[in-house]
Chains A and B, each alone.
Chain A
Amino acid sequence: AQTVTQSQPEMSVQEAETVTLSCTYDTSESDYYLFWYKQPPSRQMILVIRQEAYKQQNATENRFSVNFQKAAKSFSLKISDSQLGDAAMYFCAFSGNTPLVFGKGTRLSVIA
């Protein structure tokens, strides 16, 4: 079974600074996808970024980028130029031949 581990229950960042959220996973599959979802207080799950395992190039979406290390099974999220609206729970998720499996989440606070 796949597992996803987020070792940082809480993180904080100053507005306009950069923060990195960690995620590791365990799987025996070779073809899979990794995701970061954001859940603000409204509780709506919002897709932030996705990475295909077969792609070596790290995914980027505006201020959000990932550092995907397949051999280490690591998938961290970097948020640049942090904004107040980035404050939320961030969940790392894995998808292979099964529906999404989520980590426990990291609560990100942004300090003005």
Chain B
Amino acid sequence: SAVISQKPSRDICQRGTSLTIQCQVDSQVTMMFWYRQQPGQSLTLIATANQGSEATYESGFVIDKFPISRPNLTFSTLTVSNMSPEDSSIYLCSALAGQGARETQYFGPGTRLLVL
């Protein structure tokens, strides 16, 4: 398994500003992901954070709005840029851990973001 921590756990931000969310995994993992969960909704994949190369974004998400870093095998950041109230969501970091058939995605506790 993997234990994942995120900072900050929550924040209230003004529109037009940016927030960087940090994600730390307690072991080296090959794949890390960022999800968004809007109020009362399911989880939507934003991007796959690739170590040593640019993140792979899903349809509807772009690097200018959600730049992602992955400097090593245990750490990633997601920045929410030029925020608007529509960005108010929970942002969850996830990592793929385990061997072979036991590979499973584990999740951090999430960062609750409110944009005013």
A interface residue numbers (CB < 8 A to B): 33, 35, 37, 42-45, 47, 50, 52, 91, 95, 99-105
Which B13-41 residues have C-beta < 8 A from chain A?
31, 33, 37, 41
**What are 28 A-B contacts with C-beta separation under 8 Å?**
A33-B103, A42-B109, A43-B90, A44-B107, A44-B109, A44-B110, A45-B92, A45-B94, A45-B107, A45-B110, A47-B104, A47-B106, A50-B104, A52-B101, A91-B43, A99-B31, A99-B45, A99-B96, A100-B43, A100-B45, A101-B45, A102-B42, A102-B43, A102-B44, A103-B42, A104-B41, A104-B42, A105-B42
**CA of A99 to CA of B31, assembled, Å:** 9
> Is B42's CB under 8 angstroms from A91's CB?
yes
Among A42, A99, A105, contact of B33 (Cβ-Cβ < 8 Å): A99
Count chain B residues whose beta carbon lies closer than 8 angstroms to a beta carbon of A: 22
Listed from nearest, the 3 A-B pairs whose CB atoms lie closest are A45-B107, A102-B42, A102-B43
B-side interface mostly? strand
Which of A45, A47, A52 is packed against the most chain B CB atoms within 10 Å?
A45
